[in-house]
Structure 1
Amino acid sequence: MPCPFSRLPEPWAFVRHFTPNWFAVNMGTGVLALVVAHWPWALPGKLALAEALWWFGLGLFGLFSVLFLARVLIFRDSVGPLLEHPVQSMFLGAIPMALAMQISGLLLFGLPRWGEGVVRLAHGLWWLDAGLALFSALWVPYLMFTRQNHALDKLTAVWLLPIVAPEVASATSSLLLPHLHGEAARQVLVVGLLLWGMSLALAFSLITLVLLRLALHKLPDTDFAATSWLPLGPLATGCLGLLGMGQQAPAAFAGTPLAALAENAHGLGLVGGLMLWGAGLWWLVIALLFTRRYLHDDMTFNLGWWGFTFPLGVFVLASLELGRLTGLNFFALIGSGLGLLLMAIWLLVLQRTLLGVWHGELFRAPCLGGSAMPARGVLSTD
């Protein structure tokens, strides 16, 4: 086996070339932890496995945060190229989405272990996550409109990443709301609904552009194979968020003038969730067909492969939740089958990522110039 980091482009590449798409590892690992925890069938040690996955993701999130901050503070000359890069800048939205996964795990695994103090921590972190998500949804598109160069034939679903972050924050609020009361619960619910509406409306607009690009210019090259799964993310997250917030609305607005309206939110959330799940199912089938075609074209591994995990994982969670709410085994069976697929993909992508880290080839930022843009590095626009 080659010496570790033998393919680093420079000695401090793991800092200077650290890119925000590494946070997609947290997203994929965090959603897998939630899927294992909500597995509908009896599985010995499933909660212990789910918690172990969350701890693993939490450790990575801390490491990645330190590396990213070190790049920003030490190699300030690398920040401008990152912000102007038409692909790498989109992954700034992965940071709040990764944080949302840690908050979900904190409520699910930390509350039984450490008690009610966890709720206060999760509550504060949720507001931080909502702020970061809103910032990414505003700032990155502003950079697109003012500083970056884009073209329709280069468009991919990676454009969705910064604007989907608020929707992920809103879906996370449904895990926090059962532990809040009164004004605090109403504030989180209302902000969650606002973030949901903002994000999903923009996501539908971009998905329309993605469909137009696919019809006119066909599939992107194999470096962007995983982006074909990304539209599934906002559809599934929208479904999951609507289901969760709809269930929590009656308790949040009890005793207020909106109590009667909130009582209907459960049913409306279920109907809306079913509609979004149906749209997500269509995109899931299309993404599977696209991936089958890409496999014949000899896909080369890059960090973008983590894009296979999070959208699929959220769709699994939405399927399992619909199965619980409707009592229909149809949803539970689909969710369970896709959950097994998610586990297999996660293991494969993790193994390839660890090899790339060992060799050092994944620490090559496309935004830092030609020497940092090999085919086996992170996603580029070439």
Structure 2
Amino acid sequence: MLEACESKWDIVKNFIPSWFAAVMGTGILAISSWMYSVYIPVLKYVAVGLFYLNIIMFFAFLIPWTLRWILFPKDALADLEHPVLSSFYPTVAVAMLVLASDFIIIGHNIDIAKYFWAFGAVGMLLFNLIVPYYMFKSDSIKLDHVNPGWYIPPVGLLVVPIAGSLIIPHLTGIWHELAVFINYYGWGSGFFLYLALLAIVIYRFILHHPLPSALAPTIWINLGPIGAGIIALINLVNHSPFISVKEPFYIFSLLFWGFGVWWALMAIIMTIHYVKKLKLPYGMPWWAFIFPLGAYVASSHMVYGIFQYSIIDYIGFALYWLLFGLWAITFIKTAIATYHGYPFKGH
């Protein structure tokens, strides 16, 4: 019905870049469901259903996203220069990278995965220069603008090697070398950018007023670089023949995973605080609950696969059900809001 829209073009004009976070979240839930189907076989069918749903969502979102740049370039550019919204622009590229992983793990189609990964990787490399460029040259960014959404660009870089490292063995010659370069460039630049931004965001948390309620779900985004970083590192190590001693990288993954446990607990505590003491109104930032938690859930299963400590997988499996519940609630609320046209009323 989209009854809250003044015209059908409001959908295009006000199509904010964060919509692709829904594709990211649905894609990682599909992968996590596939992983944990070892305990509950029916989850494999859930994974397949989510996989196909995710493909439909991606192309459905891609149409208004593209049309916005053609028909309303000033609005699209304004978001790219916005100190908060700009960080969500890379989600379109991350969505492609997540779909590449979906096609490899669930769809068993390396050929299609290559295309999604290639376009996603190129998009990620571009956005991770464009978004910081606008921030660096801006003279209007304030401490109020600092939020965990700033992690999204480095998260995208860390996602590059997740599917990319699985594609490396299927490439030869210069394409093989280029893929290796892009994967290691992605992890290296993404990880150290994340560390730099982590310090800035923690500074804001401690020495500035709390995040506005609308951005409260972004607290969970910190699990994104942790989970994605772990998965990417393990995949890179396992698919890089020149790394003969893998154990130090595995141990670092376990240490990084431990930090994720702390952040997951803190995110839960802070979310409860907002629900009880402040407020947590629905909005597109609710998708910030999903991909970061999903990446951490998937990383938990991979870390368990290396060290075989059941407690790790128990934690991951428990968080999987929290992930599924949050995804279901967010998906339903987004569908209802979209039906009534609320996300397209402008921002």
Shorter-chain TM-score range: over 0.9
Q: Paired residue for 1:281?
A: 261
Out of 157, 165, 184, the position equivalent to 1:174 is 165
Out of 115, 118, 121, the position equivalent to 1:130 is 121
Name the SS for the 2:90 alignment partner: helix
Matched, 1:78 2:58: no
Instruction: Give a deviation string over 1:336-376, Cα, whole Å, max 9, x none.
Output: 0000110000000011101100111111332xxxxxxxxxx
Q: Which has the larger radius of gyration?
A: 1
Instruction: Give a deviation string over 1:29-55, Cα, whole Å, max 9, x none.
Output: 000000001115332332222111011
1:136 touches 1:165 (CA, 8 Å); kept in 2? Answer: no
Instruction: Give a deviation string over 1:191-233, Cα, whole Å, max 9, x none.
Output: 2122101011011110111110011114211101111111111
Distance 1:247 1:77 in 2: 45
Q: Paired residue for 1:310?
A: 291
1:8 touches 1:363 (CA, 8 Å); kept in 2? Answer: yes
Distance 2:178 2:37 in 1: 32
1:167 touches 1:234 (CA, 8 Å); kept in 2? Answer: yes
Q: Paired residue for 1:57?
A: 54
Note the C-alpha offset of 1:120.
Answer: 3.3
Determine what percentage of the aligned residue pairs are the same residue.
28
Matched, 1:151 2:142: yes
Name the SS for the 1:230 alignment partner: helix
Aligned positions of 1:200-215 closer than 5 A = 200-215=191-206
Note the C-alpha offset of 1:190.
Answer: 3.5
Distance 2:222 2:52 in 1: 28
1:236 touches 1:315 (CA, 8 Å); kept in 2? Answer: yes
Counterpart of 2:73 in structure 1: which amino acid? R
Counterpart of 2:40 in structure 1: which amino acid? L
TM-score in terms of structure 1 length: 0.86
Name the SS for the 1:298 alignment partner: coil
Matched, 1:358 2:323: no
Instruction: Give a deviation string over 1:254-279, Cα, whole Å, max 9, x none.
Output: xxxxx4xx111x22320221121122
Counterpart of 1:146 in structure 2: which amino acid? K
Distance 2:107 2:280 in 1: 39
Distance 1:71 1:304 in 2: 20
Instruction: Give a deviation string over 1:106-145, Cα, whole Å, max 9, x none.
Output: 112332xxxxxx4233224322211111111110010112
Counterpart of 2:156 in structure 1: which amino acid? A
Aligned positions of 1:263-302 closer than 5 A = 263-264=244-245, 266-296=246-276, 297-302=278-283
Q: Which runs of 5+ in 1 are unaligned?
A: 112-117, 251-258, 367-382
Counterparts in 2 of 1:122 and 1:356: CA distance versus 1, 3 Å: same
Q: Which runs of 5+ in 2 are unaligned?
A: none
Counterpart of 2:95 in structure 1: which amino acid? A
Matched, 1:44 2:41: yes
Counterpart of 2:253 in structure 1: which amino acid? G
Q: Paired residue for 2:216?
A: 225
1:246 touches 1:268 (CA, 8 Å); kept in 2? Answer: no
Q: Paired residue for 1:249?
A: 240
Out of 345, 356, 361, the position equivalent to 2:326 is 345
Distance 2:115 2:3 in 1: 42
TM-score in terms of structure 2 length: 0.94
Out of 227, 236, 244, the position equivalent to 1:236 is 227
Distance 2:112 2:138 in 1: 37
CA RMSD, Structure 1 to Structure 2 (Å) = 1.7
Aligned positions of 1:180-195 closer than 5 A = 180=171, 184-195=175-186
Matched, 1:110 2:107: yes
Distance 1:190 1:336 in 2: 34
Instruction: Give a deviation string over 1:218-253, Cα, whole Å, max 9, x none.
Output: 421110111111111112211111111111112xxx
Name the SS for the 2:343 alignment partner: coil
Distance 1:182 1:70 in 2: 37
Q: Paired residue for 2:28?
A: 31
Name the SS for the 1:39 alignment partner: helix
Instruction: Give a deviation string over 1:149-171, Cα, whole Å, max 9, x none.
Output: 21113311111112321111122
1:26 touches 1:98 (CA, 8 Å); kept in 2? Answer: yes
